[in-house]
Amino acid sequence: MISILDLGTGNIRSLENTLDLINVPYERISSKDELKIAEKVVLPGNGAFDSIMGTLCKKDLTSLLKQRILDGMPYLGICVGMQILFEGSDEGTSKGLSLIPSRIKRFENYNNYAHIGWETVISKNGKEIGEYYFMHEYRSDILEEEYQYLHCKFPKYFSCGVNIHNATGIQFHPEKSGSVGSEFLLNWCNYGL
């Protein structure tokens, strides 16, 4: 069973539609008691870093989520759900979960536009794995192979997929990426990538 962490933001309905399409059972969770027993957790994207961290703190979920990840619970963070795995973000002042020793940074010198649209995602062995939909202004530039496993080149190289313990973070939106996104989600649900 996939547990979607519902913090009142994100592409929850889009994610649910995709999970329905690929026949993966899911539930929405939002409490400490539910998170304690969740088998696999997805935190959907959309929202600001400080807002997501603030809601996690308000619901008293921050420490528990971090501990569950450290204990090996499979976690998929989409967009800002990936970004909270880091120490912090240029988007705000809140601390992240600090599982990855780096900060999320804003795209510089790109005319203040967000990265919106389709982009080829490349695995760390250099293989193109498909085109995925992105919608963000902030990025990871983590280069350590210990954490990074996917990247793309918009407007320059940046990490769009990270792993730590059983936690996977992706900057793109699989729930908005058609069949390749559905396949990505199915693989994660079945194998945890």
Residue with token string 């400490």: 32
Q: Which amino acid is at 147?
A: Y
Maximum pairwise Cα distance, the chain: 45
**Nearest by Cα to 106 from 147, 80, 144, 136:** 136
175 catalytic? Reply is yes
Residue with token string 């304690």: 36
| DSSP secondary structure of 21-41 | HTT--EEEE-SHHHHHH-SEE
Considering the candidates 115, 136, 151, 173, report the single residue annotated as catalytic: 173
Rounded alpha-carbon distances, angstroms, from residue 134 to 51, 66, 68, 72, 137: 20, 26, 28, 27, 10
Considering the candidates 79, 152, 160, 189, report the single residue annotated as catalytic: 79
Joined tokens for residue 150? 């996917």
Task: Supply angle C-alpha 10, 14, 20, rounded to 5.
Answer: 130
Considering the candidates 119, 136, 175, 189, report the single residue annotated as catalytic: 175
151 catalytic? Reply is no
CB contact at 8 A, 139 and 158: yes
Q: What is the set of active-site residues?
A: 79, 173, 175
